[in-house]
Chains A and B, each alone.
Chain A
Amino acid sequence: MSNMNATPLLEVRNLSKYFGAVRALNDFSMQVDAGEVVAVAGDNGAGKTTMIKAVSGVFPPTGGEILLKGRPQHFASPQDARQKGIETIYQDLALADNLTIGGNIFLGREPMTKMFGFLPVLDRKAMAEAARETMKRLDFHVNRLDAPVSNFSGGQRQAVAIGRAVYWDASILIMDEPTAALGVPEQRKVLSLIRQLKAQGRGIIFISHNLQDIFSVSDRIIVLRRGVLAGERKIAETNHDEIVKLMVGGA
């Protein structure tokens, strides 16, 4: 290993993504260590979404490498990336509102059991049990495990989406604007969730427009501008002004 420290959880080397003549992401590199929160900031169209999508397997990059624990990866699909431990929590949550917490955690990989010893049926009890356990691990108390998630508040729904990642033991969580569209107390709750994920040794990529949130949970911040890395700072060694300057360019 070339690195003096332990191999980073996730390493992105010289990643590029072109759409025709448009260079949405150009020669971008970053790394995320276990128990580290890395914020990614940038104006609209700076390449944040392109970067996430390449890392989470939505489309293959035009060039560059993605390494998980030092091993090069080629994700065939988001499912592939998820199986290897990269879970993306999208802004619009990607929950099925009409299903329970358990139903959402297990969506697409539901546990089955046998009724009367022969008839395969969904194991709703196991799903509810896992939902209870997972939400407890996140210090989130929900007592209606048989209610559809549409009945829950925005913060609780965000916690369900995070719970799904935790249950399936994702080592890297990519969170796209997890605090947008939440009330202030719920924003705080989600930020404390992020700190807990960090304490569990997971790596977190935190995409946000909100510098206050970024400064309160992140260890490092990476700024993208027009598809290229505009700068990388340790949170302890920078301030709002510097980040804003990096985001908008040398005006």
Chain B
Amino acid sequence: MTNTTAAPPEDTGVAPPADHADAPGWISRIAEGRAWLFLIVLVLVFEIWSRLSFGATFVGSTYNWQSIAIFTTAPLLLAVGETFVIISSGIDLSVGFTMGLAAVVAAHVTNITGQTLPAPLAVLAGVLAAVIVAGIPGFVNGLLISRLRVPPFIGTLGMYGVARGAAYLLAGGTTVPVSGNSFISTLGNGTIGGVPWLVIITIVFVIVMHYVLSQTRFGQHNYAIGANEQAARRAGIDIRRHVVWLYILSSMCAGLGGALYTARYTAGAAQAGEPLLLDCIAAVVIGGASLFGGSGSILGTVAGALVIAVIQYGLVFVDVQPFWQFVAVGVVIIISVLIDQLQRRFSGARQDE
């Protein structure tokens, strides 16, 4: 048998290779806060603009911030779920109409249960029903993508149509008002210490999702799958199971968004989330996630959603024609992707995409 003693490691005569990871520290740190930096610049621009044109303050007005915060909630709720999906290198196009479906369900269930239950419980039932029903399209998305190997883009595009049709059918083609329930408008429009209920709920939810993404195995595996699905599979992660839960999570975020929409307008509408799909994907991308997967964070997405809301609200505030909003948001998306590319080049990270 072989009895060769192993050579000591020194005999290769090779110094330990230099550590490559030292140089780009500050660059990557700036890149992480990119969206927040952008937000600050944007707010300053609107402040100067508003002072020069109207002699009024933009930043100093609490009303502005309240409006921006409420404006941010719906796209942010969708974007939080979308962040998980995009990090895993998928995409969920169905969230907009899942939100609409959930809004209609919330309105119906609140009305029906309101006949027997006290108002707050009826609202709770409506919200729970909305979130649970929203999970169904997510579950189907997850099965299509993980079991039947349907590309996420196509699978969720199909579900976009199905959820849209289901929402309109359930709503009878119209909006569904919630009647005789005073609690729901408190929830949707009331404030506590000047902070709207909707904003408080969204903040709590975002903190929980930040925890899930950054501190749990589910979050860790999500990053791994996005970077190298094969590596994750070889490491023993049950990818099919993960992907099903991932898309359920995404549509349940949309479900909560739909329920809160119903609370805000005391009515559910199938088209509730229609204009939000692109906004939510934009928020994720502006927030620093790569559409190739593997990177992104909830905090970045929060900044991304705020950037979009500030642009949209700010342009109205300084009295620019509303159509410029589309142009501005589009330009911001392109700029953030360009900055992302530049940063990758300078940080010396491997560029294999």
Contact = CB atoms under 8 A, between A and B. Distances in A.
Given A94-B228, A96-B227, A220-B2, A78 B21 contact: no
| Residues of B in contact with A, size category | 35 or more
Interface stretch (A61-69, A101-109, A243-251): A101-109
A193 B16 CA distance: 12
Nearest to B3: A35
A209 interface: no
Chain B interface mostly: loop
Contacts, number: 130
Contact of B22 (A139, A144, A156): A144
A196 interface: yes
Interface stretch (B212-220, B243-251, B255-263, B308-316): B212-220
A82 B236 contact: yes
Interface stretch (B7-15, B135-143, B156-164, B195-203): B7-15
| Residues of A in contact with B, size category | 35 or more
Interface in A14-61: 33, 35-36
B17 A186 contact: yes
A233 interface: no
A92 B248 CA distance: 32
Nearest to B348: A151
B17 A108 contact: no
B227 A98 contact: yes
A95 interface: yes
A119 B207 CA distance: 13
Contact of A94 (B7, B226, B231): B231
Nearest to B219: A122
A13 interface: no
11 contacts: A78-B234, A78-B236, A90-B234, A93-B231, A94-B234, A98-B294, A107-B232, A107-B237, A121-B215, A139-B9, A151-B24
Interface of A: 5, 33, 35-36, 78-79, 82, 88, 90, 92-99, 103, 107-110, 112, 115, 119-122, 139-144, 147-148, 150-153, 155-156, 185-186, 188-189, 191-193, 195-196, 198-199, 219-220, 234
Query: Which 6 residue pairs across A and B have the least CB separation, nearest first?
Result: A199-B6, A108-B235, A151-B21, A144-B21, A96-B224, A107-B235
